[in-house]
Amino acid sequence: TDLSADLGDELPTNSSDTNAATGKSSSTSATPASRDVKRKADLVTVQTALELYRTENGSYPSAPTIIRIVDVSSSIYTALVPKYITTIPADPYALDRGYWYGYRSDTGATAYLTAQLEETTDPSTTLEDGKYIYHVPLSGAPSTTSQSTSVVDPTMSVTIP
C-alpha cells in the first residue's frame, strides 16, 4: 500500500508552528537535517499518544486511507486531542512546502505514522512517488526498514524503524 498517496495541495486546518500573519512555519530557517530530527521527534510524541489511546480503547482510531494528522476533523485528531495529547504537532514545512504528517489504520489493530523527510540519504526512509517517506509502524505493524533506533519515553519504551 502506498502510504504517500496524494491528498492534493490543500492546507492543513491547524498548525501550531505556523505564523498566522505570514503563513510561514517557524522552522523555515532551520536546516533540512534539523527539520527531519523534529519530524521524527514529533512522530514519537504522536506515537506515545496513540499507544495510550490503544491501551484504553483496545484499538487505534480508524483511518482506512492515509490522512493528515493536523486536520482537526480527522479521526486521529478527534480521538487524541485533548485527552491524550494537547495538540497535534505540524510538520515544520506544513504550510509553505506541502510537507505533512500522515496516519493510517485500516482495522484499528495496526497503524502507521508517516512523514516526508528532506534528507534523501536517510537510510530509514523509503522512496515513494519521488518522496522520501519515514514510517513509524505501531503495535506490531511490519517495519518498512531494517534499521531501528531505540527511543526511551518516561511511560514506555518504543522502537522507531
Direct distance between the N- and C-terminal alpha carbons of the chain, in angstroms, rounded to an integer: 18
Residue pair 99/92 in contact (Cβ under 8 Å)? The answer is yes
Q: Which residue has the cell 530557517?
A: 29
Q: Which three cell numbers stand for residue 124?
A: 530509514
Buried/exposed code over 47-71 (b: 16+ C-beta within 10 A; e: otherwise): bbbbbbbbeeeeebbebeebbbbbb
Residue among 67, 79, 72, 65 nearest 15 (CA): 72
pTM equals 0.70
Residue-wise pLDDT for 71-89, tens only, equals: 999 999 999 999 999 999 9
Residue-wise pLDDT for 89-138, tens only, equals: 999 986 678 899 999 999 999 999 999 999 999 999 999 999 999 999 99
Backbone angles phi, psi at 79, to 5 degrees: -75, -35
